[in-house]
Structure 1
Amino acid sequence: IKKHHGITRAVVGGALTGGTGAVVGAVTGGKQFSVVNKLAIQIFFKNNKDYQELFINKKMKTDSSQYKKIQEDFNRLSSKLDMIISTNSTADIKSPSSSNNPDDLIKFKSLLDQGMITQEEFEAKKKEILGL
């Protein structure tokens, strides 16, 4: 946000202290700063439900100490959620499959091709899915 107060400050400075005040008022009038209007984390679940953790819902200057504290809390929660997602993704791959759906084999082959699981893990899942 850029605020222009130069003309107003020049008029007031000139009225109070003359020409010098007008010059000083005009020079010191412009201000520029960044703001955030909203900061939130929104989580979408498999059952089509979602949850939003709202941190900021109004204009807040990004150089304020309050914003910096909120941003630290936001980053801390984001990191924890990343760890949870990573842990759950790994657990889903290693847990036994409750279905013997051949489409699951395609999914696991894709994970193998991406290097997310080993050949041994793929072979074990393949045997499980095919009932071998």
Structure 2
Amino acid sequence: MGIWDSIKRGASNMSRLSELESKLRNNQNLTNSELAEFEQLSKSTLNEIFEKKPGKFFKGTSNYGQISIDENKQLFKLNTKVYHFENLNTYELLENESSISSGGLGIGRAIVGGALVGSVGAVIGGTTKRRKNTNIVESLKIFISFKGIREISTTLPFITKKQKKDKKYEKQLVSAKETLAGLDYISNFMNNQIQSNQQVNTTQSNSADEIRQYMELLNDGIITPQEFEYKKNEILNRRI
């Protein structure tokens, strides 16, 4: 095979790989032969690529401020980077380096040192720092920490220069609140998933305990083998 044939073949493979990636990005299932072809061309399994390069499969289904979410694949995008839902750890809205609201996996969201109220979320109550002029804001940002990846954290800036709390400030605060809503969505989704898994584990544990109790009754000759099998199947079918 000549060099031009190799180049043509390489270009054809890249085009085919891009076509298969597009199908996955658009939530189309690959056939077994397409999946085998995809893994051969990419030289990795689908799961490996999805874990390492989620951006290849991201297709936003909803937007919250500065966050775009792919609900189908449980991915979210900040700026140009794509993360798995499970990578989100904690997040915090900071105004002039004072915490206004925080949330994260396993803790939900809470107001810190004050409350967000009104149509634009005006802050009332105490904050961690005393401000000389409550009508001036020097910074407004959301700090986000991650887990399970090399990147430890990132910051989403909304206000970076000193300004008055005017309509421009209100607009940026609304954007920050919308972004928090997106982070809340991800956090709530993961928290619900954790609770669901815990309930399944509890149910499985309870079922095993019940079967052991009937096994003891069988061993003691209190019930027959037929009765034991009947109760065991009844318990196992109850889990389905």
Return the TM-score normalized by structure 2. 0.27
Larger Rg belongs to: 1
Return the TM-score normalized by structure 1. 0.47
Structure with bigger strand share is 2
